[in-house]
Amino acid sequence: MNIVMMGAQGTGKGTVAGILKQKLNIPHISTGDIFRKNIQEETELGKLATQYIDKGQLVPDEVTNAMVKSRINELDCENGFILDGYPRNIAQAEELDKMLEEKNKKVDYAINLTLEMEEIMSRIINRRICSNSECKEIYNLVSKPTKAPGICDKCGSEIVQRVDDSDSEAVKKRLDTYFSQTAPLIDFYNKKGVVYKVESNKPPKDLAEGIIEFLK
C-alpha cells in the first residue's frame, strides 16, 4: 500500500505516519531524512542538493524527485511506503505517478490531516524536539510537555525549539506557502478518488487508529 501524507506543519502528520509505519509494517519516508542522509553520505545527489542549499536556494524538483525515486526503489518499499513531505506540488505528484507506473503501482491513498490555522500556529510555536538525532521525539509545551522540564522523556537529551518555529511571522508565511501549493494537490488527488480527510483534533494514536480502520 502506497500512502502520501498531506497536512501543514503542526497537524501531526509525521507523528501519525510513524504510528502507521508500525501498524502497517511499511517504511515511513520523510523527505527531510532523505536529504540529510544523502548530504551526510556525500552522494552525488547530496552534493548537488548542497550546492543549492549553501546558496540559500530551493533544491530543484528534479533533484528531489531523483532522491525519492532512489528511496522508493529500495527493497523495504516493495510492499508499500508512507511518504511524508513529498509531493509538494503538482509537478512532483505527476513525477511520483510516473515512478510508480514503472513498477505497475500507484498512490493508493492521500491522507490529508486538517486543522484550524489558530491551532496550527499554537502547536508550532509550542513545539519542541529532542536534540538527539537518533531520537527526535516531538513534544509540545502545552499538550505534551516533558516530565522533567527541558529533558526528553525517552533518551534524557535536551529538547530544543527549531529555529524556524520561533518566529510567528515566519511560521505564518511558511503556512501560507504550504496552503497555496497544497490546494491544487488536494484537487489532483481528489480527481483520482484517493483523498481521505482527517480532522487532526485528536491525539496522534487515535488519529492513526481511525486511519487504520478506514484502510481496512
Could you list the active site residues? 13, 88, 127, 162, 174
Distance between CA atoms of residues 9 and 121, nearest Å: 9
- Which residue reads 505527476 in cell numbers? 94
Number of helices (H), then strands (E), in the chain: 8, 8
- Contact assessment for residue 3 and residue 28, using Cβ atoms and an 8 Å cutoff: no
Distance between CA atoms of residues 95 and 154, nearest Å: 38
Closest CA to 87 of 182, 192, 193: 182
Q: Is 159 left (phi over 0), alpha (psi -120 to 50) or beta?
A: beta
Distance between CA atoms of residues 211 and 71, nearest Å: 24
